[in-house]
Amino acid sequence: MRFHGFLTMVLILLCVPAAAQAQAGIYAFADAHGVIHFTNMPSDPRYASMTRVHYRSSANRGAGTARVNRHDADRFQPLVEQAAREHGVDRALLQAVITAESGYDPYAISRKGAVGLMQLMPETARRYGVRNLYDPAENIQGGAKYLRELMTRFNNDLALALAAYNAGEDAIVQHGNRIPPYRETLLYVPRVMELYRRYRLGSR
């Protein structure tokens, strides 16, 4: 099942009782062209190498409610630090975005189809050369590049950059370079900025 069928599958999953959904899983992989394939029944031999991932209702690009896996948070810090250095993004900002987006779950998938630690949409991943959305290093690199570009585009206005990360760049422009009045975005921006403040204080 290719990406365009993913939303249909998610709607089906949402109809499953909570107890069953907790055990539900789908299988996903990105092919050589960066196209993501999903299925819940990997019967075809071509799907033998697919990764089983749990659907995370908490990873929904903006709720900021994902529970942080502290072991993974520590494990991925070298990748965060490397991406921060290479792309001129504050390490604490990357930590805040990852915390809000995925809770450091590299297999998180949102209802909208965003994937991985920094919840990259497939088109954004292709834009920044991310071939495997589930690879923590690639995902963090892609997210850091995107944040750097957003900061540059919006004159280092952090609130606007975060709003664009959540709602898309076009939404910012369409609303006169202001944070769009979307409930999710209005919750997301202060949530990430507060996490950013905490991470900065913790690193001193």
Q: What is the rounded distance in angstroms from the CA atom of residue 96 to the CA atom of residue 135?
A: 19
What phi-psi label fits residue 50: left (phi over 0), alpha (psi between -120 and 50 degrees) or beta?
A: beta
End-to-end alpha-carbon separation of the chain, Å? 47
Q: Is 158:151 a contact under the CB 8 Å cutoff? A: yes
User: Could you give the CA distance from residue 127 to residue 121 in angstroms, rounded to a whole number?
Assistant: 10
Q: Are strands 26-30 and 51-53 parallel, antiparallel or unpaired?
A: antiparallel
Cα angle vertex 106, ends 101, 107, to 5°? 100
Is 101 designated active site? yes
Print pLDDT tens along the chain (204 aa). 443 443 333 333 334 333 333 334 455 544 554 444 555 565 555 544 444 444 343 344 444 445 676 777 889 999 999 999 999 999 999 999 999 999 999 999 998 899 999 999 999 999 999 999 999 999 999 999 999 999 999 999 999 999 999 999 999 999 999 999 999 999 999 999 999 999 999 876
Any residues with CB less than 8 A from the CB of 69 and at least 6 apart, and which?
103, 104, 105
Question: What is d(CA 122, CA 131) in angstroms, rounded to the nearest whole number?
Answer: 9
Helical residues (DSSP H) of the chain, grouped into ranges: 6-14, 18-23, 70-75, 77-87, 91-102, 122-127, 136-153, 158-167, 169-174, 183-202
Q: List Cβ neighbours of 204 (8 Å cut-off, separation of 6 or more).
A: none
Give the angle subtended at the CA of 60 by the CAs of 55 and 65, to the nearest 5°: 100
For the record, the structure tokens of 72 come out as 């993974």
Tallying the residues shown for the chain, one arrives at: 204
Domain assignments of the chain as residue spans, ordered by start:
56-202
Instruction: Name the token pair of 81.
Output: 């630090």
Full-model pTM: 0.70
Contact 121, 113 (CB under 8 A): yes
Q: Which two tokens stand for residue 65?
A: 């409610």
**Given the residues 86, 101, 138, 149, the one annotated as active site:** 101
Tens digits of per-residue pLDDT, 166-204? Answer: 999 999 999 999 999 999 999 999 999 999 999 999 876
State the architecture of 56-202 in CATH terms: Orthogonal Bundle (1.10)
